[in-house]
Structure 1
Amino acid sequence: MTLLEAALVAVAGVCAGTINTLVGSGTLITFPTLLAFGVPPVTANVSNTIGLVPGSVSGAVGYRRELVGQRSRVLRLASASVIGGVLGAVLLLVLPEGAFEAIVPVLVVLGLVLVVLGPRISRRVAARHAETGGLPHHGAWWVWPAIMLAGVYGGYFGAAQGILLMAILGIGMDEALQRLNGIKNILGAVVNGISGLLFAVVADVDWQVVGLIAVGAVVGGQLGAGIGRRLPDVWLRATIVVVGLVALAVFMTR
């Protein structure tokens, strides 16, 4: 990897860390960047997952004020994320690489659809809260299994995992979205951490890529928690969509 390529990977890590802290889908930045530089798809995915773990932790620390009083919620839901993350990582490792290459474009499209529909999801969340008049502190009964399924998805690929989590938490819990975003960052860190630990032991990892993304993602996590909230949502979504389309183009022309 050249010095310019290394710098671009680190910058992609900064962007991914920022976007993950805000809305999720940072993988749609780093993953196509790695593909463009010739990193094999599965190696790119596992290296990206490990590299983004410090960024997820950084974002969670940045949202520590929003996490006050939510310890029991976080612990309960983190158990679902651990199970889901392990299952998703195992699926990535046991399924043939051809299956991964066939599934990834579908996952990217799903991620882009969720990004585009984000505002509509938010409006429905607000309407749902107004109609129900509140939910139990730990959320509706289906939140835990839904978080586990999101963890399976996150352990396997991860793009738009944060948006899936926010949709689940927003609909299933009666809480301010910024406080739910704090929970989302913790759960994303748990999924990436548990799947990354498994990948580090048994998968082909490019540790240079991991280091570059990790450094960038830590910086991005703080940016996302600090000043990123003031960025217009439409610009974030537009950036993710453009990069996601690039990812599809790169993948389809391999």
Structure 2
Amino acid sequence: MSAWEIVAVLLAGMAAGGINAVVGSGTLVTFPTLLAFGLPPVMATVTNTIGLAPGTISGAWGYRRELAGQRGRLMRLGIASAIGACTGVVLLLGLPDDAFHTIVPILVGVGVTLVAVQPFISKWLAKRKSEPDPKGNWLTFLFVYLAGSYGGYFAAAQGIIVTAVLTISLHETLQRANAAKNVLVSVVNCVAAILFCFVADVSWAHAGLIAVGSVIGGQLGASVGRRLPSWLLRTFIVCVGVVAIWQLLRTR
């Protein structure tokens, strides 16, 4: 591995870790980087997931203040994320590439739309509920599972989808939902990474560089993201989501 490749992969990991902590879609930085240096698509996906797993933990730790009071909820939803991650791994290793990539831009688009209109949907739901459900219901569990399945298969923009589900169904502030998103995405990435270690080919040199960069980027991203006002964070999520859709459509 050349010095240029080492620096490029490390910086890509830092950028991805920061983006993931704030919104998600960091994979859209690291995945193309790995492809550019000659890794096959499936190996690049696997290597990327393993490399970014420590960064998602770093980002979740950076949001620990916003996680106060969410332990019980996240333990329940974390089960959904873990089961979903296992499903995603099976899909990645068992289905042709085109089968899932066809609907990826659609899923990201739905997530972006839900984040954008979440304040209006929350107000509409509040008028029809005497008390918001702080724990989430079976529908939340289902959607978190589906998002985990998507994340286990192809991690790009899963954070946007999870954030959309949480902000609408849990009636939390965007920052607290974003903190919860970091935990659930960490569960997905870590479960998928562990499984990939045993059943898939990994470029450990690239994974290690991404891991180091993503841990640093996760801390930097969390320190910035948790200070953003809700409207600015929502705008950033939507903008990153639109770019993600464009990149996904362009590379199909």
Pick the TM interval, shorter chain.
Answer: 0.7 to 0.9
Query: Match of 1:107?
Result: 104
Query: Match of 2:225?
Result: 228
**Distance 1:219-1:2 versus aligned 2 partners, 3 A rule:** same
Compute the displacement of 1:85 (Å). Answer: 0.5
Q: Matches of 2:98 and 2:34 in 1, distance apart?
A: 15
Compute the displacement of 1:110 (Å). Answer: 3.9
Compute the displacement of 1:229 (Å). Answer: 4.3
**Structure 1 residue runs of 4+, over 6 Å off?**
none
> Which is worse superposed, 120-129 or 210-219?
120-129
Matched, 1:136 2:133: yes
Query: Match of 1:16?
Result: 16
Aligned residues of 2:108 and 2:157 also touching (Cα < 8 A): yes
User: What's the C-alpha RMSD, in Å, of the aligned pairs?
Assistant: 2.3
Q: Give the TM-score of the pair, scaled to structure 2.
A: 0.87
Aligned residues of 1:17 and 1:219 also touching (Cα < 8 A): yes
Q: Matches of 1:244 and 1:9 in 2, distance apart?
A: 23
Query: Match of 1:70?
Result: 70
Q: Matches of 1:6 and 1:101 in 2, distance apart?
A: 30
Aligned residues of 1:115 and 1:160 also touching (Cα < 8 A): no
Query: Match of 1:27?
Result: 27
Query: Match of 1:166?
Result: 163
**Distance 1:133-1:219 versus aligned 2 partners, 3 A rule:** farther
**Distance 1:7-1:105 versus aligned 2 partners, 3 A rule:** farther
Compute the displacement of 1:246 (Å). Answer: 4.5
Report the number of matched residues: 248
**Distance 1:38-1:75 versus aligned 2 partners, 3 A rule:** same
Aligned residues of 1:139 and 1:174 also touching (Cα < 8 A): no
Aligned residues of 1:43 and 1:206 also touching (Cα < 8 A): yes
**Distance 1:138-1:117 versus aligned 2 partners, 3 A rule:** closer
Matched, 1:178 2:175: yes
Q: Which runs of 5+ in 2 are unaligned?
A: none
**Distance 1:178-1:8 versus aligned 2 partners, 3 A rule:** same
Q: Which runs of 5+ in 1 are unaligned?
A: none
Equivalent residue letter for 1:152: S
Matched, 1:209 2:179: no
Query: Match of 1:5?
Result: 5
Q: Matches of 2:28 and 2:132 in 1, distance apart?
A: 33
SS at match of 2:39: coil
Aligned residues of 1:32 and 1:243 also touching (Cα < 8 A): no
Equivalent residue letter for 1:200: C
Q: Matches of 1:143 and 1:217 in 2, distance apart?
A: 28
Matched, 1:147 2:118: no
Equivalent residue letter for 2:11: V
> Identity of aligned pairs, percent?
49
Q: Matches of 2:83 and 2:190 in 1, distance apart?
A: 12
